[in-house]
A = this chain, B = another copy of it.
Amino acid sequence: MTITKQTGQVTAVADGTVVTPKGFQAAGVNAGLRYSKKDLGVIVCDVPASAAAVYTQSRFQAAPLKVTQESLAAEQKLQAVIVNSACANACTGAQGLKDAYEMRELCAKQFGLAPHYVAVASTGVIGECLPMEKIRAGIKQLVPGATAADAEAFQTAILTTDTVMKHACYETTVDGKTITVGGAAKGSGMIHPNMATMLAFITTDANISSPVLQEALRSITDVSFNQITVDGDTSTNDMVVVMASGLAGNGELTPDHPDWECFYEALRKTCEDLAKQIAKDGEGATKLIEVRVRGAKTDDEAKKVAKQIVGSNLVKTAVYGADANWGRIIGAIGYADADVNPDNVDVAIGPIVMLKGSEPQPFSEEEAAAYLQQETVVIEVDLHMGDGVGVAWGCDLTYDYVKINASYRT
């Protein structure tokens, strides 16, 4: 285990995964939903874990989300989450719901669990039913383990058009005990507000109750997963699930606990790290765009402005073309749902100030173009209206985005 970065009392664990926290195992196999890529994965916990989840805001919630919500409603505990890629099991009517229940049942049986301890997730094409013969056979093949290879098999099984696996892991200390938070995610297209085709699975060995975990997840989601956008589309299947095994042996965490901030920060960093990986690996993307807004009336308004900028097709194409077209940033600010004084806005692209007090500043086009060729492009905006701050992440809009999405199904 390599320790790479220290931030306050939270430490990044470079090669950490969902099986790094105590009590978790994972697996991933090819069940034949795809030609050869792994397409079915599971995370299993040694004990019933405190659990929390957030779901897509779409009115068309896919069948697996309904089943997962039912599972969590029973005891707010989970001991396994079963996930398939290739087929979203969304808009599949009564048959889809039946299939999602069966997937839960089969997973419970495979690992000797009560069905309501199992969460179900699916991602892929909308409107097609799960090939249940393949799912049934695939679940029987799942043999979880706690090695890096097991975690990797799971991370691969959940991907769709993603080009890289996404995982993150952070450590902290609570009551003198090491607490670890690990996560795996998939993203790519249809990424926008409020959970877009995005799945994230987070494990921790912290001792924490489900309601407290749920509250933490909700507030962290608002500044991490809900602040990324790839194409402005929200999916029917997005879900973030957290399971806390409690095996680290700390005293129960609540917001009043003296080490609460450490835990919260470890969870937040895991989510932000995964969110940024998703944004960076957006379909066709070549660059990560990070927009930092300060001086808004409220944090909420700052977040909205940041997300509006990072979601603008015109900003995204300008970043792709390394064109310092700050007028498009102003354009996006102008229609964000936030109070703005049009006569007093600062805009900088990286270290280069473009607009100060809404007056254009002279800058070197060459320098700006060179900065915009970096892998990560930071746009900073000051609205001079108050103390609100917010960050959002996205990616550039490229030829490859069009290519991938003009023929996703075929």
B312 contacts A233, CB within 8 Å?
yes
Q: Can you sample 21 A-B contacts with CB below 8 Å?
A: A58-B331, A59-B333, A59-B334, A91-B358, A92-B360, A93-B358, A126-B326, A126-B331, A127-B355, A233-B314, A233-B328, A233-B335, A236-B331, A236-B334, A313-B405, A317-B405, A320-B402, A321-B407, A323-B410, A398-B402, A402-B402
Q: Which residues of B have CB within 8 Å of A327?
A: 88, 90-91, 125-127, 236
Q: Is the CB of B232 within 8 A of A232?
A: yes
Task: Answer whether residue A332 sits at the interface, using C-beta atoms and an 8 A cutoff.
Answer: yes
**With contact pairs A323-B408, A407-B323, A409-B323 given, residues A60 and B93 touching in the complex (Cβ less than 8 Å):** no
A328-367 toward B: CB 8 Å interface, digit per residue (1/0)? 1011111100001010000000000001001110000100
A residues 358-410 in Cβ contact with B at 8 Å: 358-360, 365, 397-399, 401-403, 405-410
CB pair A335–B234 under 8 Å, yes or no, is yes
Question: Is A41's beta carbon under 8 Å from chain B?
Answer: no
B232 touches A60 (CB 8 A): no
Residues of B near A69 (CB, < 8 A) are none
In the complex, the answer to whether A409 meets B325 with C-beta atoms within 8 Å is yes
Q: What chain B residues lie within 8 Å of A405 (beta carbons)?
A: 313-314, 317-318, 321, 397
Contacts of A311 in B (CB 8 A): 232
Q: Which residues of B contact A127 (CB under 8 A)?
A: 326-327, 330, 355, 360
Note all chain B residues with C-beta closer than 8 A to A402: 317, 320, 397-399, 401-402
Q: Which residues of B contact A39 (CB under 8 A)?
A: none
- A: residues with CB less than 8 A from B are 56-61, 88, 90-93, 125-128, 189-190, 192-194, 231-236, 311-314, 317-318, 320-321, 323, 325-328, 330-335, 340, 342, 355, 358-360, 365, 397-399, 401-403, 405-410
CB pair B399–A330 under 8 Å, yes or no, is no
A360-B397 contact, Cβ under 8 Å, with A60-B333, A327-B125? no
Nearest-Cβ distance from residue A326 to partner chain B, whole angstroms: 6
By beta carbon, the residue of chain B nearest A95 is B359
| Docked-complex contact B410 and A61, CB < 8 angstroms | no
CA distance A88 to B190 in the complex (A): 33
Contacting A317 at CB < 8 Å: which of B312, B359, B401?
A: B401
Q: Judge whether A59 and B340 touch: CB under 8 Å.
A: yes
B326, B331, B359: the one contacting A235 at CB < 8 Å is: B331
Q: With A330-B91, A330-B126, A342-B60 given, is the CB distance from A321 to B358 under 8 Å? A: no
CA distance A389 to B74 in the complex (A): 41
Known: A125-B327, A317-B406, A325-B408. 19 other contacts (CB 8 A): A56-B334, A58-B334, A60-B334, A60-B342, A88-B327, A91-B327, A91-B358, A93-B358, A189-B314, A231-B314, A232-B311, A233-B314, A234-B334, A236-B327, A317-B405, A320-B402, A321-B410, A323-B410, A365-B410
B-side contacts of A331, CB under 8 Å: 58, 60, 126, 190, 233-236
